[in-house]
Amino acid sequence: MHKITLSTVAIMIMSLDIYADVNITQETEVNTIANNNFIKNIDGYVRTAYENHNVAHDKTYTDAAIGGKLHIESTSYYGVSIGSSFYTSNALGTSDNRGLVPFRGKIANSYSILGEAYIQAQLGNTLIKIGRQEIETPFAQVDDIGIVPNTFEAYIVKNNDIKDTTLFLGQIQKMAGVDAKMVDGFTRVNGDNNMQVIGITYEGIENLNLNAWYYHLKDAEIDNISYIEANYETQNATMGYGLGVQYSKQTYTEQEDASIYGLTASLSHISSGITLCTAYNKVEGNAITSGFGGGPFFSNSEYLIIDNAGANGSQTRFGLEFDGSAVGIDGLTLGLSKVILKNQEKQESTELDVVASYEVNKHIEMHMIYSDLDGKNIGEDTAKHLRVFANYTF
């Protein structure tokens, strides 16, 4: 890994129009390679971020960085293609990382990493992908909350032979990124035993999404994670409705197992752009984990997650969202939510979040997240936290 300067990223972006997007079909693949149109797609983003963490009875911690992603994928040759993504995060000023989403690496403040480097084959309705890659599953996911997201070294297979159904098989070996042991380097997920994943998603019933997953981590403290989820969403001319349920069983190798139940509901008024939502999770038995990423649990917030509740804990979230397009401000979204977490001693921790997002156009967007956190009963900070992002995608 080597430090990359902003000028390098800028040069990459300015060079994009050298390559034309190519719509590849089976008939033209050989001719495309012969004509040296090797690059199918180049995309990515440049991101600037600032965060401020004001801890009660302590001091204010700050950080800022600029970075991004450059992704290149080749054209397909008889269904086979290769791709890579280069990520970089460059520190602006000095920082003390306590309580902050990690913009900086452990090896160096500014860092760059080859987060994706894969070969993939599309064989009919089956996709095989091997190497470093971004993955989205309930307990292993990108969780893009900083400059550089989580990426994984893995072997995955996706199949869509069954109508409205996606089957997922995978072995995840290493990860790097914001939730990894080392932000700026790939480390093993579960030693030499790795993590095996199987999942199924079914969308054959109108407005309903069903999915089930199983994760195996041999000899880990939590060695098996089972998960099921169902979500129903619909709307008419005036109202929108949503309902979701979830359940996870997590087995410990040497301790009591854990179970968690979840429920979420939402109600939207279309013409006003207002959505009300609520979510609840309850743990029975031992403490649970959200896995390798932000986790799937409905009540998780910016800071407090159901993992923090420990054994037999619970968490409730209430939210309000406003879609600015209802009053002619396209691209504007405002959100307000309150989270109440209780441990098994019924001690409470709370979090109030204010979120604002504005999509200026298809390339530029801005995000602001303000959190007022009271985490003293679970060993977390009592603090006021601000994060601001500006993204340019290409």
Per residue in 43-54, pLDDT tens? 999 999 999 999
Q: Which residue has the higher pLDDT, 313 or 31?
A: 313
* Residues 231, 117 share a domain: no
| pLDDT at position 109 | 82
Record the pTM.
0.88
* Residues 289, 142 share a domain: no
| pLDDT at position 296 | 98
Rounded to whole angstroms, the Cα distance separating 345 from 309 reads 10
Range 255-260 average pLDDT: 97
pLDDT exceeds cutoff 60 at 32: no
Rounded to whole angstroms, the Cα distance separating 99 from 341 reads 19
| pLDDT at position 36 | 59
pLDDT exceeds cutoff 50 at 323: yes
Residue 214 lies in a domain: no
* Residues 343, 309 share a domain: yes
- Of 156, 176, 206, the residue at which a domain comes to its end is 206
Nearest in space to 281 (alpha carbons), one of 314, 259, 249, 305:
314
* Residues 267, 182 share a domain: no
| pLDDT at position 22 | 36
pLDDT exceeds cutoff 60 at 158: yes
Q: Which H or E element spans position 34?
A: helix 29-34
- Range with the poorest average pLDDT among 50-59, 116-125, 263-272, 281-290: 50-59
Residue identified by tokens 């994984």 is 152
CA quadruple 93, 94, 99, 100: dihedral, nearest 10: 30
Rounded to whole angstroms, the Cα distance separating 18 from 71 reads 15
* Residues 227, 202 share a domain: no
Secondary structure of residue 94 in the 3-state scheme: coil
* Residues 173, 237 share a domain: no
Nearest in space to 255 (alpha carbons), one of 206, 300, 311, 298:
311
Q: What total of structural domains would you count in the chain?
A: 2
Rounded to whole angstroms, the Cα distance separating 217 from 47 reads 34
| pLDDT at position 94 | 76
pLDDT exceeds cutoff 60 at 27: no
| pLDDT at position 136 | 97
- Of 206, 233, 262, the residue at which a domain comes to its end is 206
Q: Around Cβ 72, how many Cβ atoms within 10 Å?
A: 19
Range 173-197 average pLDDT: 96
* Residues 267, 196 share a domain: no
Task: Please provide the average confidence, as pLDDT, over all residues in the chain.
Answer: 91
* Residues 135, 24 share a domain: yes
* Residues 185, 238 share a domain: no
Rounded to whole angstroms, the Cα distance separating 49 from 103 reads 8
Amino acid present at 126: T
**CATH number for the domain harbouring residue 382:** 2.40.160.10
Range 339-363 average pLDDT: 97
Residue identified by tokens 């799937």 is 296
Contact of 112 with 2, CB cutoff 8 Å: yes
